[in-house]
Chain A
Amino acid sequence: NAGVTQTPKFQVLKTGQSMTLQCAQDMNHEYMSWYRQDPGMGLRLIHYSVGAGITDQGEVPNGYNVSRSTTEDFPLRLLSAAPSQTSVYFCASSYPTKRGGETQYFGPGTRLLVL
């Protein structure tokens, strides 16, 4: 299993440009999430999905769109990039358990710089 994969690893954008960060998992996990990591702030949830066709907003959703057409893929779209979106983006997946304590599996991250 490759686990959770993300592309690209690094991207530079100009303000106003759009792009899609790709995320895929091969573990058949129902849940997938996008986080951003900023210095001194830990990770913050952007959007998440509990299954194909179902998405919802997290803590910091503004400026980002997501869709979930398949179980495996969960792309994150920046429609008009802003310098405030300079960050490291992590995708994660997990499966629900009745006992709770779901472990999330993280991808290696995408470092985004918006000029």
Chain B
Amino acid sequence: GDSVTQMEGPVTLSEEAFLTINCTYTATGYPSLFWYVQYPGEGLQLLLKATKADDKGSNKGFEATYRKETTSFHLEKGSVQVSDSAVYFCALYFQGAQKLVFGQGTRLTINP
């Protein structure tokens, strides 16, 4: 079945460090791919998305590129801030299937 695998956390970095959170997926067909972020005590909110191969999603300095050949959608940011501390979820979605398939989440902590 369809599945998403994220790098295990927790991840701890210093402010201004480079961030990569790996995400790979297994799916039949070509899903849309998402990164959602969950700040402490809140629900999930969309960070960025890509709907087809080679699309790059970007938001708030974060980027991810839909790589069909490696079935990946790695999240990157060049210089993280303390305010980026949160749990990040990679997810895939098939139009018509009406559901998101989530990875297990990666907790990110940024120290000043």
User: Within 8 Å of chain B (Cβ to Cβ): is A100?
Assistant: yes
Band of interface residues on A: 20 to 34
Per the 8 Å Cβ criterion, residues 25-67 of B in contact with A are 32, 34, 36, 41-46, 49-51
The contact string, 1 if C-beta is below 8 Å from chain A, for chain B 4-19, is 1000000000000000
B104 contacts A99, C-beta separation under 8 Å = no
Cα A90 to Cα B98 in complex, Å, equals 15
From B51, which residue of chain A is reached at the shortest CB distance? A101
Cα A48 to Cα B93 in complex, Å, equals 14
Cα A58 to Cα B99 in complex, Å, equals 8
Cα A106 to Cα B37 in complex, Å, equals 11
A100 contacts B95, C-beta separation under 8 Å = yes
Q: Which of A13-21, A38-46, A70-78 contacts B (4 or more CB under 8 A)?
A: A38-46
User: When A99-B51, A101-B32, A101-B51 are in contact, do A43 and B98 touch as well, CB less than 8 Å?
Assistant: no
User: Within 8 Å of chain B (Cβ to Cβ): is A26?
Assistant: no
Cα A100 to Cα B49 in complex, Å, equals 11
The residue from A31, A41, A106 contacting B44, defined by CB atoms under 8 A apart: A106
Per the 8 Å Cβ criterion, residues 57-87 of A in contact with B are 58-59
Cα A48 to Cα B94 in complex, Å, equals 14
The residue from A44, A102, A104 contacting B95, defined by CB atoms under 8 A apart: A102
Q: Report the minimum CB–CB distance from A49 to chain B (whole Å).
A: 9
Q: Report the minimum CB–CB distance from B94 to chain A (whole Å).
A: 8
A104 contacts B32, C-beta separation under 8 Å = no
From A50, which residue of chain B is reached at the shortest CB distance? B98
A45 contacts B43, C-beta separation under 8 Å = no
A42 contacts B89, C-beta separation under 8 Å = yes
Closest 6 CB pairs between A and B? A42-B102, A106-B43, A100-B95, A101-B51, A101-B32, A106-B44
